[in-house]
Amino acid sequence: MLTLLFILLAFAFIIIAIIKFEIHPFLALFVGAIFYGLLAGMPAALIIQSISEGFGGVLGSIGLLILFGVIIGTFLEKTGGAFIIAQKILAWIGEKSVMLAMMVTGYILSIPVFGDSTFIMLNPINKSLSFKGKLPYAATTIALTLGVTASHSLVPPTPGPIAAAGILEADLGMVILWGFIISSVSLIPCFFYAKYFTSRIKLIPQFAEVEKTTEIKKYPSIGKAFLPIIVPLLLIVLASIANYPTHPFGENAFTSLLLFVGSPVIALLLGTFLSFTLPAKFDKKLLSASGWFGEAILIAAPVIFITGAGGVFGKMLQNSGIADIVSGNIQAGSLSLLLPFLMALALKSAQGSSTVALVTTASIIAPLLPTLGLDSETSKVFTVLAIGAGATAISHANDSFFWAMTQLTGMNVKQGYMSHSIGTFILACTAITLIFIISSFF
């Protein structure tokens, strides 16, 4: 019980440091890990060892994946590729189905592009289409924000879920596949919530910023824009299938090649190279420290370091023998998925960042996987998704995305809580219910 108390103290230290004192999550997690190690009475040598193994081990397997994913998103955003994808999806679905179009567009673009950026990019289109279609602006807005939220927390190569998958050593291809299925199905009740409930919120769009986003420029073709997203995802999923014990593609040179190019690092590296073809006129300065490449590194750095600090926390817990202590108090089985879900939900609600919630929860849960009966390959996949489901909710006033949404649409805080915040809770509950149902069969 004393060790569990120390964990709660370290947990409280991290949350208070981030929320009350606005300390960067990396520093809060890193110091919180050392704080826990000292409280638990770990030898100094073991604390240092935990720092080295936790930080180096996690970044060695995840750091490049996060960086490549951010580079792809940056080039899509800067070249207008993301804008072209949005326009094409809207054309496919049709302007008469604006709500569905906005939800699907936000969902797809939030995989390579950060959620805040996706919303900022799509909001002018959302305003215009809701006005032309005489639809409630609040309803189309929440359809968009929930679409963004679903893939942001559940579908790699978004940084949060890809980091959680790496920390738990889950099969990334299966996380992508099941993440797509669970997140997309979870959006069905969210769609009806947005359509029938948030439509009651009176919100009048202001069009001052629309012209800014429609400047004439040479955009990449839709085929080019999709390639950096589709190619890596397909390669990773196919490699996961090829790696099944039944060897569905056989054991030959083709399978060996597929396993190589479908490894997450190589697949995302290929996606990165494909993103370099997006500019209308390629300039080598784009790959310089001051160009888009350098900008992407600056964007990725905080996520990478937060992930590394989470790895330190997880290794510190593991080396303190927490699994042995907890084993007598928690019954293994499918209900064990509820623990990572609730922990991620509590962290997300407390400090606002889905990425921090994903990384921190995964780091804490990693040494407990055998104890919880979640150490099989399939269980690891569903554990990542349970954490992602929890990390979708509840988005409220401590979440930067919440403020981006309310300020750009003209919603007040109460309207934001009554629409977006409740919507994220519905999304989380639907997702974890689906995870429980599917995991019971697999």
User: Is pLDDT above 50 for 211?
Assistant: no
What tokens were used for 130? 């809701």
Q: Are 168 and 372 in contact (CB under 8 A)?
A: no
**Residue owning tokens 């099941």:** 178
Tens digits of per-residue pLDDT, 344-363? Answer: 998 888 777 888 889 888 98
Which of 80-84, 263-267, 361-365 has the lowest average pLDDT?
A: 80-84
Name the pLDDT band for 44 (thresholds 50, 70, 90). very high
Among 151, 124, 138, smallest CA distance to 196 is for 138
CA within 13 Å, CB half, 101: 23
Tens digits of per-residue pLDDT, 229-250? Answer: 889 888 988 888 888 777 888 8
Angle formed by the axes of helices 222-242 and 264-275, nearest 10° = 170
Tens digits of per-residue pLDDT, 100-124? Answer: 989 998 999 888 777 777 887 788 7
